[in-house]
Chains A and B, each alone.
Chain A
């Protein structure tokens, strides 16, 4: 069931972090995302605040926050809630820890 995507140094995989305002949950999510970026240099994470961009949230179909999503995959893959377990997150999104 897992999707393994190989990364080249030229392209960075774009993930999205959906949050709702400046709340403790948002801060936690940001910390977790920083850990992810440290573990896998080949990804970029854009942050979207659903409170300031509800139309975007509607198009993406986001219900809950925080949500980390790879909207580029078909179908999109999302993790909601606690993003603290780096390995689990990476496994679900089908991202390998790069060796470079």
Chain B
């Protein structure tokens, strides 16, 4: 067990992982070792969770014991509050991997007059660190100290600086939480960033269109690079802070040449032999044009070929989906019972987009599908602020492509006969293939037309094919010779 007071410095270990994956990427691997990081946030923004996770990760995965100095809540309260995240603080205390320094107000009457120093606090922290061989220390939260020593904030600042310096010299990586008064106002209430912080991280909990949006931002990292801007995160039971990886994505995808069936042999031909294993296909069309049928075929085709398929439904209920499929001779229930298919239906409004993303990720990780269908992206878009949706889409497509899962997403176009809606513009640039389904008026009848608008990396049919839908599914007809310009946004002509 390493002695916390050792001056030993391993130059190779420059970063300390927090265990919050996407966050560690934002800071190039972790928080700088033996430096002070101030984590600021308004009440309820998740500072204590973040700080505890930092310690928990050290104990569970890095063999680095820690010290939790608590100024506000009692150790018992913290143990209780954090247990929901799967962290057994009490047990770690028993195993001497974690030590608490209880600096909470407790039941005392204290009068502060004149000059003081915080040597006692420092002595206690060092004592605890030595007892467990700590490498990480959390001080939560500094505001409490300022409230207590309110008569002499200057002395307090001097002492806090002294303590931080001493802890760093003792080989500890320090994390202090600080209060903020507003989400976009001053950095921290007591200007912690000015006098003691080597690094500053801000947690926000912003109310946006009736929903809370949690973000994390690395404001400054002395002597080190970091990714700028806010990244969304959420608090998950049994895991803690889970950040959504966005800017960390690199365009590194390997390209697969393997083709998989769309579920409809005619469509497979139109796209040059099938969809690519690691591609995302967008199916866009107005309501009733046949998107759900296409999804059903996609799933059934995959299962028939021996794959596992996952369907995420945000528009219709399970009952409706299963009934519709049965109407076309596709038995979802049987496939589910055999473990080949999993259907999950959710209300888009039930959670924010980052949470949706995490739900999808954990479903994929748990079930391990070879193909995934999302019906529909438009339903999810309703939930989101504009930037949030694009980020979500980037994350989602990246995630499934990296795992070589063939994806099919539907989007509802706003106009019945053609044209591109705003959401489609977003989505269309991020997908590899686009299939358009449109109504075409010919004389007094509405016909259906389908075309492959793009298929990245492959030859594809440029024709607009007629198609029909009946109880046995989708049937593609011939190409429409003189089809009016429904696919380019102009009004249908209606004559043949």
Task: Name A's B-contacting residues (CB within 8 A).
Answer: 18, 20-21, 25, 50-51, 54-55, 57-58, 61-67, 74-82, 84-85, 88, 92
Question: What residues on A are CB-neighbors of B117 within 8 Å?
Answer: 20, 25, 64-65
Q: Is there an interface contact between A18 and B127, defined as CB atoms closer than 8 Å?
A: no
- B417 contacts chain A at the CB level, 8 A cutoff: no
- B13 contacts chain A at the CB level, 8 A cutoff: no
| Interchain Cβ contacts under 8 Å between A and B, 28 examples | A20-B123, A21-B119, A50-B119, A50-B124, A54-B127, A57-B120, A58-B101, A58-B102, A58-B124, A58-B127, A62-B121, A63-B103, A63-B118, A63-B148, A64-B121, A65-B120, A76-B108, A77-B110, A78-B110, A79-B113, A80-B110, A80-B111, A80-B113, A81-B112, A81-B113, A81-B114, A81-B116, A88-B113
A75 and B123 in contact (CB under 8 A), knowing A64-B116, A65-B116, A84-B114? no
A54 and B126 in contact (CB under 8 A), knowing A75-B108, A76-B109, A77-B109? yes
Question: What residues on A are CB-neighbors of B148 within 8 Å?
Answer: 63
A75 and B107 in contact (CB under 8 A), knowing A58-B124, A64-B149? yes
Question: What residues on B are CB-neighbors of A57 within 8 Å?
Answer: 120, 123-124
> Contact partner of A63 among B107, B113, B121, CB < 8 A?
B121
- B115 contacts chain A at the CB level, 8 A cutoff: yes
Q: Interface code B172-201, partner A: CB below 8 Å = 1, 0 otherwise? A: 000000000000000000000000000000
- B106 contacts chain A at the CB level, 8 A cutoff: yes
User: Which residue of A has the minimal Cβ distance to B130?
Assistant: A54
Question: What residues on A are CB-neighbors of B124 within 8 Å?
Answer: 50, 54, 57-58, 62
- B128 contacts chain A at the CB level, 8 A cutoff: yes
Question: What residues on A are CB-neighbors of B108 within 8 Å?
Answer: 61, 75-78
Q: Is there an interface contact between A82 and B113, defined as CB atoms closer than 8 Å?
A: yes
A79, B112: Cα distance in complex, Å: 6
Question: What residues on A are CB-neighbors of B116 within 8 Å?
Answer: 64-66, 80-81
Question: What residues on B are CB-neighbors of A54 within 8 Å?
Answer: 123-124, 126-127
Task: Name B's A-contacting residues (CB within 8 A).
Answer: 101-103, 106-121, 123-124, 126-128, 148-149
User: Which residue of A has the minimal Cβ distance to B115?
Assistant: A81
For the complex of A and B, the 5 pairs showing the least CB-CB separation, nearest first, are: A82-B114, A20-B119, A54-B127, A81-B114, A50-B120
A87, B266: Cα distance in complex, Å: 98
Q: Is there an interface contact between B109 and A63, defined as CB atoms closer than 8 Å?
A: no
A58, B126: Cα distance in complex, Å: 11
User: Which residue of A has the minimal Cβ distance to B106?
Assistant: A61
Question: What residues on A are CB-neighbors of B114 within 8 Å?
Answer: 81-82, 84
Question: What residues on A are CB-neighbors of B109 within 8 Å?
Answer: 75-78
A26, B118: Cα distance in complex, Å: 13
User: Which residue of B has the minimal Cβ distance to A52?
Assistant: B123
Q: Is there an interface contact between B113 and A51, defined as CB atoms closer than 8 Å?
A: no
A78, B113: Cα distance in complex, Å: 11
A10, B119: Cα distance in complex, Å: 36
A78, B126: Cα distance in complex, Å: 23
User: Which residue of B has the minimal Cβ distance to A48?
Assistant: B120
Q: Is there an interface contact between A78 and B107, defined as CB atoms closer than 8 Å?
A: no
Question: What residues on A are CB-neighbors of B118 within 8 Å?
Answer: 63-64
A50, B123: Cα distance in complex, Å: 7
User: Which residue of A has the minimal Cβ distance to B99?
Assistant: A58
